């Protein structure tokens, strides 16, 4: 059975593509490789290139990895042009790369492997986020950015006030900046609240998620908007990998390297979960026990306990969202 796939390895300024086809006798053939600028002109050139290469073969699937924002414009462009696209979760692609035991890594080689993945595997067709989720995601990302900037400004103000020979004018300017950030943060929160209230189904889902001790409304909205209502995921492992909270091991023979989280995923989710995880280690009894158990094993690296708490909060949010249930503090967790 014929099948055509275009693997796309995308970066900030450009992207590499590889066009592969599986012929009826099972042989896989490369129809071409190329690279294009990551902008509208490059997208149009990509389609022209594909149409010239694809004379009478089946419609190819454009395959890329869900690694960040750099591929968003392209996948929306492909959807608007009625092309078939598939965005693969990082853990799936990572596992496939490992299975091939590829020792050389370049953008061109990556695009070939992604194209081969599209040929060999069954793909989920990408669908755009709903307009409400997309708007919420942009609002929440701006909120996170402003909060980070405000925290930096507060630290700078603290240093100014205790510095020798400080200038009063600079202190006033910094205080004015912080007041500006506070006003904008308050305005963003109003817009987020209105956007949530316009979707009654989302309101009901969020009620389930915020029932988790330590996890508040803003964090729940961020999780929902960054995952399109957890639509991409079919199991816990996938959602954990998407957030970059999956554990990466480094072992070979007798060598035992340090295990750490991969961080190959959505940074906004990890950023949003950090403070709620700290709160949960105090006010959420099961997570508190988890945190204390891990810190007892790793007394010099207590951050491991915080990361484990972040992971557990994400799993709880995903589970309650999917099952449409309220948090049950009496639930017996597996060891």
Q: What is the pLDDT of residues 97-114, one digit of tens each?
A: 888 887 778 888 899 999
Give the start-end residues of each E strand in the chain.
3-10, 14-22, 28-37, 61-65, 84-88, 247-248, 251-252, 255-256, 260-261
Would you place residue 249 in the very low, low, confident or very high pLDDT band (cuts 50, 70, 90)?
very low
- Domains of the chain: which residue ranges? 3-120, 132-198, 200-335
Strand duo 61-65 + 84-88: pairing? parallel
At 261 the pLDDT is 58
Q: Report whether pLDDT(273) > 60.
A: yes
Average pLDDT over residues 36-49: 95
pTM of the prediction? Answer: 0.73
Q: Tell me which CATH code domain 3-120 carries.
A: 3.30.420.10
Give the separation between CA 18 and CA 16, rounded to whole angstroms. 7
Write the DSSP assignment of 92-149 as a string of letters: HHHHHHHHHT-----HHHHHHHHHHHHHHS--PPP-PPPHHHHHHHHHHHHHHHHHHH
Average pLDDT over residues 267-285: 91
Residue range 73-88, pLDDT digits in tens: 999 999 999 999 999 8
Distances (CA, A) of 8 to 35, 188, 275: 9, 35, 36
Structure tokens at 260: 């750490």
User: Any idea which residue has 């990895």 for tokens?
Assistant: 65
Q: Report whether pLDDT(166) > 60.
A: yes
> For residues 33 and 108, is the Cβ–Cβ distance under 8 A?
yes
Strand-pair partners of 91? none
Q: Report whether pLDDT(247) > 70.
A: no
At 69, is the secondary structure helix, strand, or coil? helix
> For residues 308 and 315, is the Cβ–Cβ distance under 8 A?
no
Average pLDDT over residues 39-47: 95
At 260 the pLDDT is 58
Task: Provide, rounded to the nearest whole percent, the portion of the chain with pLDDT above 70.
Answer: 92
At 155, is the secondary structure helix, strand, or coil? helix
Strand-pair partners of 37? 14
Average pLDDT over residues 150-162: 91
Task: Provide, rounded to the nearest whole percent, the portion of the chain with pLDDT above 90.
Answer: 53
Question: Which residues contact residue 37 at a Cβ distance below 8 angstroms, ignoring those fewer than 6 apart?
Answer: 13, 14, 45
Write down the mean pLDDT value for the chain: 87
Residue range 184-243, pLDDT digits in tens: 999 999 999 999 999 999 999 999 999 999 999 999 999 999 998 998 788 888 888 888
Would you place residue 56 in the very low, low, confident or very high pLDDT band (cuts 50, 70, 90)?
low
Strand duo 28-37 + 251-252: pairing? unpaired
């Amino acid at each position: 059975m014929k099948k055509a796939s275009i693997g796309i390895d995308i970066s900030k300024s450009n992207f590499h593509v590889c066009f592969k086809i599986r012929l009826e006798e099972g042989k896989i053939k490369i129809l071409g490789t190329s690279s294009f600028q990551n902008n509208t002109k490059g997208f149009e050139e990509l389609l022209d290139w594909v149409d010239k290469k694809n004379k009478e073969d089946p419609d190819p699937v454009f395959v890329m990895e869900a690694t960040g924002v750099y591929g968003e414009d392209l996948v929306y462009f492909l959807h608007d042009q009625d092309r078939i696209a598939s965005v693969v979760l990082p853990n799936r692609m990572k596992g496939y790369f490992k299975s091939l035991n590829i020792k050389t890594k370049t953008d061109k080689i990556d695009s070939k492997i992604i194209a081969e993945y599209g040929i060999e595997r069954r793909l989920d067709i990408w669908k755009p986020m709903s307009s409400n989720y997309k708007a919420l995601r942009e609002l929440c990302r701006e909120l996170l950015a402003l909060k980070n900037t405000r925290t930096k400004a507060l630290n700078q103000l603290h240093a100014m006030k205790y510095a020798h020979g400080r200038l009063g004018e600079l202190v006033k300017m910094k205080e004015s900046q912080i007041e500006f950030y506070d006003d904008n943060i308050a305005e963003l929160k109003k817009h987020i609240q209105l956007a949530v209230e316009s979707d009654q189904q989302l309101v009901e889902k969020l009620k389930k998620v915020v029932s988790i001790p330590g996890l508040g409304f803003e964090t729940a909205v961020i999780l929902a908007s960054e995952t399109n209502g957890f639509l991409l995921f079919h199991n816990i492992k996938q959602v954990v990998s998407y957030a970059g909270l999956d554990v990466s091991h480094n072992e070979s023979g007798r060598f035992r390297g340090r295990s750490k989280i991969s961080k190959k995923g959505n940074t906004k989710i990890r950023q949003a979960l950090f403070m709620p995880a700290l709160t949960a280690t105090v006010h959420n009894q099961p997570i508190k026990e988890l945190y204390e158990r891990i810190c007892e094993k790793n007394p010099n690296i207590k951050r491991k306990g915080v990361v484990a708490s972040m992971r557990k909060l994400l799993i709880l949010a995903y589970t309650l969202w999917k099952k449409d249930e309220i948090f049950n503090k009496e639930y017996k967790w597996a060891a």
